[in-house]
Amino acid sequence: MKPYLAAALQMTSVPDLGKNLAQAEELIDLAARRGVELITLPENFSFLGDEEAKFERAEEICQASQKFIKTMAQRYRVTLLGGGYPVPSPDGRTYNTALMVDANGEELLRYEKVHLFDVNLPDGNTYQESASVTSGSDMPKVWKSDRLGSIGISVCYDVRFPELYRQLSKSGAEVMIVPAAFTAFTGKDHWQILLQARAIENTCYIIAPAQTGFHNARRQSHGHAMIVDPWGIALADAGDDVGMAIAEIKPSRLEQVRRQMPSLQHRVFG
C-alpha cells in the first residue's frame, strides 16, 4: 500500500433515481478533483425513502446503479464503491448489494448484506428490511492491492456484528468500508462509537459513507460520514450536510499502530 486519499461521500437520497445519480456524480466529480483515489458512496445512494417503490422498481434501480458505478469509475479514473442497492434475488425479494470496481470498471468486490435491519425503535419508527430483502449467505471478501492496500466491505447494520469484521481482519483487511443509511435516532448514540470500535479492535482504517437528512416525511438519517484511523481517531467527519469526508490512508500509520498495539497477534479465541 502507498499513501492515498479516500473519500466517504454523504448524500440525501430520495425516491428519485435520476436526481440521486446526479447528486452522486457531482460529489464524485468534486472528490476526484481533489485527488481522491478511493471514493465510496453510501447505502441506498440511488434510491431511498419509499421501500415499496424501491422494491417495485428493483430491476430498473439495479441496472442503473451498476451502470452508474462502472461508468463513474471509468470516467474519473478512480476505484469506486456503491451500495447497497437492490439486486433481484431468486426468492422474489432483493439482495442489498455493495459493489466496488476499479478505474476500468472491472468488478473487484461484490457483497450481499447479511445482517438485515428488523427493529422497532423507541421513536416510533419500525424497520423490516427482511420484508423485501434476502439475507446474503457469504462472508464479504477482501481485495488486495499494492496501491490501495487490502480492502474489505460491509453494509450499515453489519457494523453491530464485530465477528464479521474480525473475519475480514483475519483475511488481511487493512481498510474496511461501511456504507450506511444509519437512522438519526440510533446514529446519535451509536454511529461513531461503533465505527471507532471496529477500527480499534482490528487496528484498521474505517471508511464510512453515509446518508443524511430527511428522505421522506418520516425517514431521517444521521449523517456524519467518517474516516477513522487504526487508533480510533476520527480523521474526517462530514457533519450533517451533503458533502464528504476526505482523509489520507497512510501505511506508515497502520504499521505504527499495529506495532505499538499488536492485539491482532494476541488473539486467543478466533
pLDDT digits (tens, 9 = 90+) for 65-98: 999 999 999 999 999 999 899 999 999 999 999 9
Q: Are 20 and 11 in contact (CB under 8 A)?
A: yes
Q: CATH code for 4-266?
A: 3.60.110.10
Residue bearing cell 456503491: 82
The amino acid sitting at 233 is I
| Catalytic residue list contains 62 | no
| Catalytic residue list contains 141 | no
Q: How far is CA 19 from CA 45, 241, 248, in A?
A: 10, 17, 30
Catalytic residue among 43, 51, 112, 174: 43
| Catalytic residue list contains 204 | no
Tens-digit pLDDT profile for the chain (270 aa)?
999 999 999 999 999 999 999 999 999 999 999 999 999 999 999 999 888 899 999 999 999 999 999 999 999 999 999 989 999 999 999 999 999 999 999 999 999 999 999 999 888 788 999 999 999 999 999 999 999 999 999 999 999 999 999 999 999 999 999 999 999 999 999 999 999 999 999 999 999 999 999 998 888 899 999 999 999 999 999 999 999 999 999 999 999 999 999 999 999 987
Count the neighbouring beta carbons within 10 Å of the beta carbon of residue 163.
9
Catalytic residue among 112, 156, 174, 204: 156
Q: How far is CA 128 from CA 24, 102, 213, 228, in A?
A: 26, 33, 20, 29
Q: Interior CA angle at 91 toward 68 and 112, to 5°? A: 45
Rounded CA separation 240/72 (Å) = 25
Rounded CA separation 81/101 (Å) = 7
Which three-class secondary structure state does DSSP give residue 198?
helix
Checking DSSP bridges between strand 38-40 and strand 4-11, what pairing results, if any? parallel
Catalytic residue among 113, 129, 174, 204: 113
Phi-psi map region of 120: left, alpha, beta (phi>0 left; psi -120 to 50 alpha): beta
pTM of the model: 0.97
Q: Which residue in 159, 153, 149, 160 sits closest to 139, CA to CA?
A: 153
Domain limits, the chain: 4-266
First to last CA, the chain: 26
